[in-house]
Amino acid sequence: MVLLYNFMMRLLLFFALLGPVARAELVRADQVETLRGAPLGPFVRVGDGAIWGMEERGALISHDEGKGWAFREIFDQVRFQSRKERALLRTREGVLLYAFLNERERVFKWDDQKGGPQEGCRLPVYVARSADDGKTWSPPVLLQDGWCGAVRQMIQLRTGRVVLVSQQARANPGRHITLIYVSDDLGKTWQVGAPIDLGSTGAYGAELKGINGGTHGGGLEGTVFEKKSGELELLLRVPRGHFEKMTSKDGLVWGSSSPSMIAASDSPGMVVRLASGRLALLWNRFVDPVKQMGRREELSLAFSNNDGLTWTSPQVIAINRAPVGAREGAFWIAYPYVFEAAPGRLWISTMQGDLRVALREADFIGPVAKPLDGPAARIITLGDSITKGARPGVSPAETFGAHLQGALRSRGLRAHVHNIGIGGERTDQARTRLESEVVAARPQLVTVMYGTNDSWVDEGKTASRLSVAQFEENLRAIVERLQAEKIAVVLMTAPKFGEENRRNGLGEDPNIRLARYMEITRQVARQSGLPLVDHFAGWADAQERGQRLQAWTTDGCHPNRDGHREMAGRMAECVAGIIR
């Protein structure tokens, strides 16, 4: 059987060499290499230098950097057959762990009218283990019963703990919950954390805002990474136009979920830590985010230099447009795996669409010279949590940056607005990332809005976090640096706190101190010859006319959907006049 399988693999490789594996069009074909004959993955590199991948019946091994692959049986093929949704890890100690769904035991029983998964609905998770770098394998061990639609990632933390992201279908309503397993003995035994249950219905075959295809309720198909602080962050697929984000200190206990800043279609992503220290994210965005159409026809890539606080502007690396009237699912490029074959060289493969490519990290860090949808003004919104916007009750698509992009396009202006707001940030902290996140991105225009955190007095303190003089010095330095690069700057005052705001550490209404900092912003704008969008004054005027500012916020400080829409309306005319 093994000899026959190796023959078939060589035959498949021969046909693969006749043409590209993927049907998708590579957007930057001169900087993307097709990996002809490569399997799906995931992949790891073992101690002898070989690259291991997995397929339905066992392992695939390459000793020539992916040019040829040999099959190796690692489990009883009568009892086990792996589905394509799987996770593979080589620990620092040379232990290989392989988590997979056993197709041999698959029983699909799902009835939307009766609450989703029915009794006996089953696709169990097994873990196979090799303690000697793949030479020998222990028989797979059952980790999780019931229906699991996918296991996609397994990582090892700096402590040595192994973390595996799984999921399970639950009934009434039919949905998926996420289960996180951890092992402190290199996969011999496992603990499972409390279920991560985001609720919400949504089942196989349900329509979602014009999407012709199924979706799933709950939170599922998560990708996880460890921050430099040791904290874990989990990004979950949800049918809400973005990834849902959660954090944990140990992988077992997770905090509440909140919308991430990453706009995403109802599809899974994959985050990996690279040798450079950066994070790389592969995922699907809607082709049309307003109508939420084109769910999985584009595969995008972005990087983060600050543990996922902000990401570079997404770059589409492959597209596969569905013709009008065609079944969209036949053109999907989704469920990506990412493998760093050598420092800075990434292998990318997808389960849907059969994309198999390699690219260099260095080629995709900078901005796109020729955007996929044509020339457009590149705009960056720099600021704190008010700029970031996304929080419970406010999705990334409802922030002022997203509304601004829509308003500009409604005026016939081509613009890409990239939001890099960071919660809690002050002007001194903004200066430290100005070069790497703003200047390096070569934007045409940057909006700058600070002061809420700079002016705040913490509990037990008697002074603002930064003095008025420090705030002014930092703001001027930011403006001067951007002007030196001939980048247009729009200064903005922060919106006024609502009526039921939280008092600062001195028991003061925070608007009193914030007003002084906003006057400095106005002075800097006048003296630097810059346009000013005065949200503070605008909200104060609205309040005098009877508008309750609290109704424009989630908590008296952070704008809600209506507050962001109001801010974007004030910004649009100013920005449009600059980029015309």
- 3-state helix/strand/coil string of 7-68: HHHHHHHHHHCCCCCCCCEECCHHHEEECCCCCCCCEEECCCCCEEEEECCEEEEECCCCCC
Q: Mean of the pLDDT values across residues 175-183?
A: 96
Q: Mean of the pLDDT values across residues 326-355?
A: 94
Q: Are 193 and 205 in contact (CB under 8 A)?
A: no
* Cα distance between residue 496 and residue 510, in whole Å: 9
Question: What DSSP character marks residue 460?
Answer: T
User: Mind listing the pLDDT tens digit for each residue in 438-451?
Assistant: 999 999 999 999 99
Least confident residue range of 2-11, 46-55, 538-547, 551-560:
2-11
Per-residue pLDDT for 568 more than 90?
A: yes
User: Mind listing the pLDDT tens digit for each residue in 250-296?
Assistant: 999 999 999 999 999 989 999 999 999 999 999 999 988 777 788 89
Q: Specify the CATH number for 21-364; select among 2.120.10.10, 2.60.40.10, 3.40.50.1100, 3.40.50.720.
A: 2.120.10.10
Q: Mean of the pLDDT values across residues 492-502?
A: 96
Q: Are 217 and 201 in contact (CB under 8 A)?
A: yes
Q: Which of 207, 123, 217, 102 is nearest to 171 (CA)?
A: 217
Q: Which H or E element spans position 299?
A: strand 298-304
| pLDDT for 214 | 53
User: Mind listing the pLDDT tens digit for each residue in 5-63?
Assistant: 343 444 343 333 333 334 688 888 889 999 998 999 999 999 999 999 999 999 999 99
Helix (H), strand (E), coil (C) string for 310-379: CCCCCEEEEECCCCCCCCHHHHCCEEEEEEEEECCEEEEEEEECCCEEEEEHHHHCCCCCCCCCCCCEEE
Mean predicted lDDT score pLDDT of the chain: 91
Both tokens assigned to 58:
């066992």
How would you label 38-76 residue by residue, b for 16+ Cβ within 10 Å and e otherwise?
bbbbbbbbbeeebbbbbbebbbbbbeebbeebebeebbe
Query: Rounded to the nearest 10 degrees, what angle do helices 535-544 and 561-579 cross at?
Result: 130
| pLDDT for 506 | 95
Q: Which of 422, 394, 384 is nearest to 565 (CA)?
A: 394
Q: Are 38 and 12 in contact (CB under 8 A)?
A: no
| pLDDT for 349 | 96
CB count in 10 Å sphere of residue 307: 17
Q: Which of 57, 542, 409 is nearest to 534 (CA)?
A: 542
Q: Mean of the pLDDT values across residues 365-378?
A: 75
* Cα distance between residue 483 and residue 488, in whole Å: 7
Per-residue pLDDT for 195 more than 70?
A: yes
Bridge partners of 337, per DSSP, are 349
| CA 561 and chain centroid, separation | 22
Domain ranges for the chain: 21-364, 377-579
pTM of the predicted protein model: 0.90
Q: Tokens 């199924």 correspond to what residue?
A: 214
Q: Which of 201, 165, 208 is nearest to 183 (CA)?
A: 165
User: Mind listing the pLDDT tens digit for each residue in 390-406?
Assistant: 999 999 999 999 999 99
Q: Are 301 and 280 in contact (CB under 8 A)?
A: yes
- Tell me the CA distances in angstroms from 238 to 10, 188, 199, 256, 448, one per residue in order: 40, 32, 10, 15, 31
Residue 479 makes CB contacts below 8 A (sequence gap 6+) with 448, 489, 491, 524, 528, 530
CATH class belonging to 377-579: alpha beta
CB count in 10 Å sphere of residue 271: 24
* Cα distance between residue 134 and residue 52, in whole Å: 9
CB count in 10 Å sphere of residue 156: 20
| pLDDT for 1 | 41
What are the φ/ψ torsions at residue 351 (nearest 5 degrees)?
Answer: -70, -45
Per DSSP, the chain holds a count of helices (H) and strands (E) of: 9, 32
Q: Give percent of the chain above pLDDT 70.
A: 92
What are the φ/ψ torsions at residue 47 (nearest 5 degrees)?
Answer: -60, -30
Q: Are 54 and 60 in contact (CB under 8 A)?
A: yes
| pLDDT for 2 | 39
Angle formed at CA 255 by CA 251 and CA 257, multiple of 5 degrees:
115
Both tokens assigned to 391:
């929080």
* Cα distance between residue 478 and residue 434, in whole Å: 8
